[in-house]
């Protein structure tokens, strides 16, 4: 977080940590008026910064969640 402006979101699950960089980011205190967000980078690790012990089931579930998050809401393509 930088001066009330979130440009990163992360999700921690056993065996899988997903970090998403957002653009333009979310202004804290005004989360409903930030417009569309672009995922500029998505990283998935096993929690130690490596992918060596990434849990395959947790990774699959995280990818399914990402697919859902990036689904079009207004009839347009991704």
pLDDT of residue 75: 62
Domain boundaries, the chain: 5-69
Q: 2 or 9, which is more confident? A: 9
pLDDT at position 18 over 90? yes
pLDDT of residue 65: 92
pLDDT of residue 15: 92
CB 5 within 8 A of CB 28: yes
Write the pLDDT tens digit of every residue in 21-75: 999 998 888 777 777 889 999 999 999 999 999 999 999 999 999 998 887 777 6
Q: What is the 3-state secondary structure (H, E, C) of the chain?
A: CECCEEEEEEEEECCEEEEEEEEEEEECCCCCCCCCCEEEEEEEECCCCCCCCCCHHHHHHHHHHHHHHCCCCCCCCC
Q: Per the structure block, which two tokens stand in for 31?
A: 């989360």
Q: Dihedrals φ, ψ of 47, to 5°? A: 105, -20
């Amino acid at each position: 977080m930088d001066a009330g402006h979130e440009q990163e979101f992360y999700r921690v699950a056993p065996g899988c940590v997903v970090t998403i960089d957002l653009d333009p980011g979310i202004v804290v205190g005004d989360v409903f008026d930030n417009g569309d967000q672009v995922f500029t980078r998505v990283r998935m690790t096993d929690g130690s910064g490596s992918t060596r012990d990434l849990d395959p089931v947790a990774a699959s579930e995280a990818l399914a969640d990402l697919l859902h998050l990036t689904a079009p809401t207004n009839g347009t393509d991704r």
